[in-house]
Amino acid sequence: MDKPKSSSTPFFVAFVLGALLCITVAMLATWADLESAFYGFDRRGSTPIRNLHCPILLNRHETGVVSVKLSNTADHKLSPAARAEFSSPLTSISTLESVELAPGESKTVTWTIGPENIDLERFIFSNIYIYAFYPLPDQESSCGTFVVDLPIPGSVLLWTMVLLGLAGMIGGLFKLNRSEPLSTSRLARALRPLGFLTIVVTLALAVALAGWWVQAVLLLAVTLMVVVVIVNYVYVRLGL
């Protein structure tokens, strides 16, 4: 049975809008982490912290939680300490937390950030340093939070953008695959680069949300190059 014919324009618009939403989220998350890496915190740690979590988006009036998981991999009791520094318009705010861990035990240490930590107009920066406690090395990482001027919680805005973006890209690509506004061969050639763009944008989004800003910068650069190539390919070579 032949597939029903339908106009591809709404599906293409949905794809473009979805891609723009995903790229926007990835850029905001990467921008905040990049700014945090160069904010001016003292750098002392020899190894990075693998499980530091910061809010990605907050509005200007809400608070969020920064957390880090401390684990004891030794066969004896440990009492590691974590020093947290947070941005502030005047000077950084610091606090020291110490926990006791039995062998094999893990605990999550949390701090609250809010409007008092906003600096450079749109960012909150966090830096966590875990002091060395044999056999554990000292560790350090920083992360950034982007501040938005909207009356809704940052987490709601974030996941709304992510879900709508992914739905727009994947749903738009799926519907384009089922529409036939052009000859089958031309449509197939147009869908292949869009499918590749979907993969790259999704990877950039996932890496940015994970806080790996170096890899996110590289993937966003690749995304930009892919967009330029696709625009040239679709509109010049295929004449869409």
Q: Residue 213: left if φ>0, alpha if ψ -120 to 50, beta else—which one?
A: alpha
pLDDT in tens, 61-70: 999 999 999 9
**How far apart, in Å, do the first and last CA atoms of the chain sit?**
27
Element (H, E) at 174: helix 154-178
Query: Would you say the pTM of this structure is higher than 0.95?
Result: no
Least confident of 98-107, 132-141, 173-182: 173-182
Torsion angle, CA of 162/164/167/171, rounded to 10 degrees? -140
Distances (CA, A) of 29 to 159, 200, 229: 13, 16, 25
CATH topology of domain 35-154: Immunoglobulin-like (2.60.40)
In angstroms, the CA 135 to CA 103 distance is 12
Per-residue pLDDT reduced to its tens digit, 37-57 = 999 898 778 899 989 999 999
- Predicted pLDDT at 193: 85
Domain with CATH 2.60.40.10 in the chain: 35-154
Highest mean pLDDT among 74-78, 155-159, 181-185: 155-159
Q: Which of 132-136, 205-209, 232-236 has the lowest mean pLDDT?
A: 232-236
When pLDDT is cut at 50, 70 and 90, the band that residue 4 belongs to is very low
With a CB cutoff of 8 Å and minimum separation 6, the contacts of 177 are 191
- pLDDT level of residue 12 (50, 70, 90 thresholds): confident
